[in-house]
Amino acid sequence: MFSRFLVPLVVAVALAFAYGPQSHSSALPAAGVPASPTSQVPDTVAAALDVRVGHKVEVALRVTNHTDHRVELQFPNGQTHEVLVLDSAGRPVWRWSQGRLFTQAVQNRMLDAGETVSYVERWEGPPAKGGSYTAIARLNSTNHPLEQRAAFALK
């Protein structure tokens, strides 16, 4: 009688371990925590951020594969990246993704050895008043999450 309950119990425990919660040590840092300037996975994928100020503010996130083999970037949906601009008090003043719709399909992007991919976004309506700002750009990859920050000023 006892063995009749033992087998299903063992199967349930095995399934719980196989499909239970997984560690997410590669998660992006919290918005207020500065990220390191390199990838979460050392010596594979790194990012650089450039900000150009003119009539518009152009933010360019460049992601480079520094290995000698192809690297796959995995994205949980159609939003591959995010750009956020904060004012000097740390308040968001512009978010690239605001008002945009993204597919809910998982997608992958292959980067060849030494290849760089650029994500360039333009803030069309920066405020007329000057001030200090910080651009934050994130690569929303689940296996190579990256974040870069760059300070800039409007005159």
pLDDT for the residue 25:
36
CA distance 79 to 77: 6
pLDDT for the residue 129:
77
Per-residue pLDDT of the chain (155 residues; tens, 9 = 90+): 555 765 665 556 554 555 544 433 333 334 333 444 433 445 689 999 999 998 899 999 999 999 999 999 999 999 999 999 999 999 999 999 999 999 999 999 999 999 999 999 999 877 877 899 999 999 999 999 999 999 999 98
DSSP reduced 3-state for 6: helix
CA distance 80 to 75: 6
Question: Which pTM value belongs to this model?
Answer: 0.70
Domains annotated on the chain, with CATH: 41-154 (2.60.40.2360)
